[in-house]
């Protein structure tokens, strides 16, 4: 289930995301974080940039920190896995209308990128994944993950999605005792969503 609010962090300083990673490391070790949330929100003017209210901004920031923390916790197991899948969100396709040539296969269920737009995030991410030996799926929603993982024998996955979808995926992976790495969207919504390709590249 997606957030009940929209956000756009594409204009936030890169140092914000470095601070989020540091906060995740601190939370993992010291189990403390709440005192730093408001500081980060104010320092980087998140509410002013995004238009979110304090409760929405706090939820978003806490999710980002939790995602980073779980990536750290699963990193060693993830590196040992060989057979991996990459799950991408269909809402990051450059054109979600007829101009997008991706083909949907309901049996999988997933879109297959046709590489029709070089500046499309999904094209770029699909190439990255395929070049590193991943099976790549462009999903219409997080609920498709269960079906794919039941059919395929993967040892680990990387997922790109909004925080709420990543939480759903985490529950599925926990049941399967499968390590995962996550890349959160930095701009959400039903279309034209955005994620950092460099972050994905580092994780892959």
- Say what percent of the chain tops pLDDT 70: 95
Over residues 125-141, mean pLDDT: 94
Comparing 31-35, 86-90, 115-119, 191-195, which segment has the lowest mean pLDDT? Answer: 31-35
Residues contacting residue 102 through CB under 8 Å, at least 6 positions apart: 90, 93, 111, 112, 113, 114, 116, 122, 138
Q: What is the pLDDT of residues 143-173, one digit of tens each?
A: 789 889 988 999 999 999 988 889 889 999 9
Over residues 17-25, mean pLDDT: 87
Q: Are 136 and 108 in contact (CB under 8 A)?
A: no
User: What confidence score (pLDDT) does residue 30 get?
Assistant: 59
User: 53-60 long-range CB contacts below 8 Å, 24 or more apart?
Assistant: 56/3, 56/5, 56/7, 59/3, 60/3, 60/7, 60/163
Residues contacting residue 198 through CB under 8 Å, at least 6 positions apart: none
Q: What is the pTM of this model?
A: 0.92
Number of neighbours of residue 179 by Cβ within 10 angstroms: 21
- Say what percent of the chain tops pLDDT 90: 65
Domain ranges of the chain: 14-203
Residues contacting residue 204 through CB under 8 Å, at least 6 positions apart: 86, 128, 129, 132, 134, 158
User: What confidence score (pLDDT) does residue 199 get?
Assistant: 94
Q: What is the pLDDT of residues 107-122, one digit of tens each?
A: 888 999 999 989 999 9
């Amino acid at each position: 289930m997606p957030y009940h609010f929209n956000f756009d962090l594409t204009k936030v300083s890169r140092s914000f995301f470095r601070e989020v990673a540091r906060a995740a490391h601190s939370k993992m070790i010291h189990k403390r974080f709440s005192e730093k949330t408001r500081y980060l929100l104010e320092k980087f003017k998140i509410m002013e940039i995004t238009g979110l209210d304090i409760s929405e901004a706090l939820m978003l920031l806490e999710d980002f920190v939790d995602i980073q923390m779980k990536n750290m916790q699963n990193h060693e197991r993830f590196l040992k896995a060989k057979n991996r899948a990459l799950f991408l969100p269909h809402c990051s396709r450059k054109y979600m209308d007829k101009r997008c040539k991706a083909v949907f296969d309901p049996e999988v269920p997933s879109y297959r990128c046709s590489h029709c737009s070089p500046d499309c995030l999904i094209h770029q991410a699909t190439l990255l994944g395929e070049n590193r030996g991943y099976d790549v799926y462009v999903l219409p929603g997080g609920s498709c993950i269960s079906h794919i993982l039941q059919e395929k024998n993967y040892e680990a996955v990387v997922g790109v999605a909004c925080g709420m979808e990543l939480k759903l995926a985490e529950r599925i992976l926990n049941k399967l005792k499968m390590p995962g790495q996550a890349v959160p969207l930095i701009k959400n919504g039903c279309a034209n969503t955005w994620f950092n390709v460099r972050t994905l590249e580092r994780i892959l």
